[in-house]
């Protein structure tokens, strides 16, 4: 799955073709940083071609969103140090324009470019379900993160964006690519999701680089039915009965948080509830070993129930 510049250009051409036919697009165009100086020229060219389209600063768009959401709009951003909370207004997806937009206005084409669902994130900025990304292939996850970091507006138009993305995670700028590949490899091979990768995917998927680690933890706890656990490489190797984990030097000899996706948290919660009821029976006295066998819960967990 690779980014295709021709596809991207075709999507922008199709957008202006719809404008020429007075069709309201499903997307908003967003100018790449440093194109705001072209705004007067863009407005003149739109007027010259009789295109009904608003060119507006993104902060003003947010303020006037209700009156603009059914109008074709091109957004730009003047103040790169001012944070934008994109997730607060994005009912429509954004389509980033990285080249000189005037060339598209003056060369309208109808390419009818089709985009598959699995490659949408390479061209559109929109909120997506983090779990859908996690369930994807290695290539999809890596492409999703790397494209968002290196190409899309997410990093280009948020001041100090990369630092915000990595904030409160153990990722380091200088080793991010290697650490990312290691975490993705272990996710797909052993169904182990590191908490730090969960944070990165959640922030990008929700277009919110300010999302706290606590917010991310609550989301995955609710979706997976279980909290993250403290692991280290020795424990991971032992529990997966393998010596071929993809090791990341930044985590060697350290404890870190992971979600074990081989464990169904909701199912375990039901089993624990059944175990509690079995142990509470007055007519029959069951010991911890018997309850463990019946419910398939670890004996240690049953003993915790008895103590409590």
- What's the first-to-final CA gap in the chain, in angstroms? 52
Given a cut of 90, whether residue 287 has pLDDT beyond it is no
Given a cut of 60, whether residue 270 has pLDDT beyond it is no
Model pLDDT, residue 74: 94
Q: What is the mean pLDDT of residues 147-161?
A: 59
| pLDDT, tens digit (0-9, with 9 covering 90-100), for 70-85 | 999 998 877 666 656 6
Most confidently modeled range among 41-55, 241-255, 260-274: 41-55
Most distant pair of Cα atoms in the chain: their distance = 88
Given a cut of 90, whether residue 285 has pLDDT beyond it is no
Alpha helices in 151-298 (DSSP H): 153-156, 161-166, 176-190, 195-205, 213-224, 233-239, 265-280, 288-295
Q: Hey, how many other C-beta atoms are within 10 angstroms of the C-beta on 249?
A: 11
Given a cut of 70, whether residue 241 has pLDDT beyond it is no
| pLDDT, tens digit (0-9, with 9 covering 90-100), for 176-230 | 888 988 888 888 888 889 999 999 999 888 888 888 999 999 999 888 877 888 8
Whose tokens are 């991207």? That residue is 8
Minimum mean pLDDT range among 75-89, 107-121, 262-276, 279-293: 262-276
Cβ proximity of 158 and 82 under 8 Å: no
> Is pTM, for the whole model, over 0.85?
no
Tokens representing 106?
Answer: 């003056």
Where is pLDDT greater, at 150 or 24? 24
Confidence of residue 133 (pLDDT cuts 50, 70, 90): confident
The strand pair at 256-260 and 229-231 is best described as antiparallel
Tokens representing 119?
Answer: 């490659």
Where is pLDDT greater, at 295 or 282? 295
Model pLDDT, residue 227: 82
Cβ proximity of 154 and 207 under 8 Å: yes
Given a cut of 90, whether residue 18 has pLDDT beyond it is yes
Q: Percentage of residues in the chain with pLDDT exceeding 70?
A: 78
Mean pLDDT computed over every residue of the chain: 80
Model pLDDT, residue 153: 47
Residues 274 and 67: their CA atoms lie apart, in Å, by 54
Q: Percentage of residues in the chain with pLDDT exceeding 90?
A: 21
Q: What is the mean pLDDT of residues 47-55?
A: 93
């Amino acid at each position: 799955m690779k980014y295709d510049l021709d596809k991207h250009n075709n999507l922008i051409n199709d957008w202006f073709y719809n404008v020429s036919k007075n069709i309201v697009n499903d997307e908003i165009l967003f100018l790449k940083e440093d194109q705001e100086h072209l705004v007067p020229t863009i407005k003149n060219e739109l007027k010259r071609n009789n295109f009904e389209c608003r060119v507006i600063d993104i902060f003003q768009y947010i303020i006037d969103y209700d009156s603009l959401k059914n109008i074709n709009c091109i957004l730009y951003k003047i103040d790169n140090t001012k944070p934008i909370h994109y997730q607060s207004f994005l009912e429509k997806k954004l389509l980033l324009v990285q080249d000189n937009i005037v060339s598209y206005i003056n060369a309208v084409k109808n390419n009818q470019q089709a985009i598959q669902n699995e490659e949408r994130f390479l061209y559109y900025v929109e909120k997506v379900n983090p779990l859908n990304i996690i369930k994807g292939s290695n290539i999809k996850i890596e492409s999703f993160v790397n494209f968002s970091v290196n190409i899309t507006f997410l990093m280009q138009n948020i001041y100090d964006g990369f630092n915000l993305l990595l904030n409160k995670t153990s990722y380091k700028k200088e080793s991010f690519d290697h650490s990312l590949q290691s975490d993705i490899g272990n996710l797909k091979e052993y169904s182990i999701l590191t908490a730090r990768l969960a944070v990165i995917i959640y922030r990008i998927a929700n277009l919110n680089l300010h999302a706290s680690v606590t917010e991310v933890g609550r989301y995955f706890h609710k979706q997976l039915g279980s909290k993250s656990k403290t692991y280290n490489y020795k424990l991971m190797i032992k529990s997966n009965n393998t010596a071929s984990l993809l090791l990341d030097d930044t985590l060697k000899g350290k404890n870190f948080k992971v979600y074990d996706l081989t464990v169904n948290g909701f199912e375990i919660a039901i089993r624990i509830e059944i175990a509690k009821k079995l142990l509470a029976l007055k007519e029959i006295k069951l010991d911890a070993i018997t309850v463990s066998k019946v419910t398939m819960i670890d004996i240690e967990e049953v003993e915790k129930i008895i103590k409590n």
